[in-house]
Amino acid sequence: MKSIKAAVIGATGYAGQELVRLLYNHPEVDVKVITSKSYLGENYTDIYSNFSHITEDILQDDDLEKISKEVDVIFVALPHGILSKKVTKEILNNCKIIDLGADFRIEDKDVYEKWYATEHISFELMEEVVYGLCEVHRDKIKNAKLVANPGCYTTTSILSLYPVVKENLIDTNTITIDAKSGVTGAGRGVSLNTHYCETNENMKAYKVASHRHTPEIEQELSKAGNKDIKLTFTPHLTPMNRGILATCYANLKAGVTYEDVKQAYEKHFKDEYFVRLMKKGNFPETKWVKGSNFIDIGFEIDERCNKLIVLGALDNLVKGAAGQAVQNMNILFGLDERCGLNTAGIFPV
């Protein structure tokens, strides 16, 4: 008998759909509730035909208080600014919440409100929150009531740089992150910028020097380095459905060698199943992580410039969203982190 009763709030977005797919294949999860404002009362298979013969569930209203009394965990896959208006301590006493949105990722209220241009209604609940980057905050996640599931750009960037920041191998004042994302990162809503003719055969930077994931990356790397870190982050939209590729640059501290960097990554990630460290001379590609919960990381040193170049790749809908959320759930409920996630990427696709 499956032991964990789950709900997915916002099940018809791309991340929500990916959550439903993963949870229906999870051996310990019984999906009790799926919700949608846009498709309330409709059969899920009428929205996503890939679920035909798998579920006949009807999309319900997202009454969090009611749902929290019926399930053990609620996954919230909604845009920022919504959950903070809905969640209460009473709801958190009823069940665990894993939030795929941004409302509880930023630990400074003023920083959140500045970057997201909205008021945070329930910031007093931050004492219940753990930032759900599993490979870094695993021990804290185990006892959390509310997990702030990291974003896709942030997961790639933070994990790619974490070991060298933690081990003080780079000049953190020189960090530059050049990141590319597939179109699903923009969500399922209709937008001119994500129309086929606007994205096909095109690559463009967007939100230059102003992307909302910047303070999230800075927050976590600052904690790793035990100092205030400011960095340059530039995102790009690429004509593919899924994937993140982040290329991160920083100057090495004097005397740091290739072997020093290699040892730092092995120290922090050699026992992390979902982090795949590339062999020397090999570098991550989005096609090898598509559909999986893995992040691939590789690096090289440009000796002419004494500069470290680190590349990270993941699937923005899996390790960058739904897969990491399931990994967080596994930690919360004492399961093997690989449970329901131990699959290779999809290739070709």
Which one-letter DSSP state was computed for residue 332? H
Written as one letter, the residue type at 306 is: N
**Cβ-count burial 310-342 (b if 16+ within 10 Å, e if not):** bbbbbbbbbbbbbbbbbbbbbbbbebebebbbe
Token digits of residue 295: 């992040």
In this structure, are strands 204-205 and 232-237 parallel, antiparallel, or unpaired? antiparallel
What are the residues whose beta carbons fall under 8 Å from the beta carbon of 198, sequence distance 6 or more?
192
Which one-letter DSSP state was computed for residue 301? E
Give the whole-angstrom CA distance, residue 160 versus residue 313: 9
| Bond preceding residue 239 cis, omega within 30 of 0 | no
Token digits of residue 298: 């590789």
134 is catalytic: no
Residue with tokens 């922090």: 268
- The single residue of 95, 134, 152, 248 carrying the catalytic annotation is 152
Catalytic positions:
152
